[in-house]
Structure 1
Amino acid sequence: MIMFSIFLVLIVIVCFLLIVVIMVQNPKGGGLSSTLGGSQQMGGVQKTTDFLDKSTWTLGILLIVLIMFSSLSFNSGNSDIKILDDKQIAPAKTEVPAPATPAAEVPAK
C-alpha cells in the first residue's frame, strides 16, 4: 500500500509539471520563444522550443510508465486472495424431489 501511495504522489507531480509545460507552449508554434523576442537575435529561442517539446514527450512517457508500475504494485498487494480451480470446488448436492403420487381419480358424471 505504501508503494501505491508513492506512485500516486509521483503521478500527481508529473501531471502538474505536464500541465505547466503544456500551458507555456503556444498552440500556433510561438510559445515561450515568441515572448522572449520576435526575431532570431536571441540565442536560446529555438532551444527553448526544443526543450519544451522534449520535456512534454518525456513527462508524458514518464506518466504512462508510472501508471503501469502503480497498477502492478496495487495488484501485488492483494496476494492473500487465492483463486480456486473449478475442479477444487465440489458441486453442491441437490436432492431431486420424489414424483408426486397421482391423486385418486374422480369418477366422471
Structure 2
Amino acid sequence: MSTFTIFLALIVVVAFLLIVVIMVQNPKGGGLSSSFGGGGTQQLGGVKKTTDFLDKSTWTLATVMLALILLSNVAINKGGATTDSKALDPNATTTQPLPTIPTAPSAQPITNDAPEAESVPE
C-alpha cells in the first residue's frame, strides 16, 4: 500500500467526519427548529458547550483535511519522470513531422473551351 493511498483513505475519513459534524450543528439564526417551538428546549442540558465542541471540531477537521491534502501532493508517485514539461526544457527536441503540401495534379491552363452542345433539330 503506497503512502498516497493512505493519505487518500485518511482524506475520505476526515471528509466524512466533517460532513457529519456540520450536519449536526444548529444554524446560527435558529433555523426551522426554533420557529416550530424547539427553541426553548435547546437551552437545557448545556447546549452551549456542545455548540463550542462542534465549532472547534469543525475547524480542527477542516485544518486536518487541508494538511492531509497538501501532504498527499508530496506522496504522489511521479512515475520516475524527471522533466515536468518539454516546453520548459531548452534542450528538448520535437519529433513531429512537418506537414506536407499537396501538389497539383498537373499544371495545365484552364480554358473556356467547353464542347459545344449539339443542336437539336426542331
Aligned equivalent of 1:66: 68
Amino acid at match of 1:61: T
Aligned equivalent of 2:58: 56
> Partners of 1:82 and 1:58 in 2: how far apart?
36
Residue 80 and residue 24 in structure 1: after superposition, are their counterparts in 2 closer, same or farther (change >3 A)?
same
What is the TM-score when the length of structure 2 is the normalising length? 0.57
Aligned equivalent of 1:86: 90
C-alpha RMSD of matched pairs (Å): 2.8
Spell out structure 1 runs of 4+ moving beyond 6 A.
none
In the TM superposition, what is the alpha-carbon distance from 1:47 to its structure 2 partner?
1.0
Q: Deviations over 1:42-87 (max 9, x none)?
A: 2x3211110000000000011100000111110xx32621227424
Instruction: Point out the structure with the larger helix share.
Output: 1
Aligned residues: 84
> Partners of 2:17 and 2:49 in 1: how far apart?
19
Q: What's the % identity of the aligned pairs?
A: 52
What is the TM-score when the length of structure 1 is the normalising length? 0.63
Task: Determine if the alignment matches structure 1 residue 47 to structure 2 residue 49.
Answer: yes
Q: How does 1:1-109 map to 2 (within 5 A)?
A: 2-28=2-28, 37-39=41-43, 41-42=44-45, 44-74=46-76, 77-78=77-78, 80-83=80-83, 85-87=89-91, 89=92
> Partners of 1:28 and 1:59 in 2: how far apart?
20
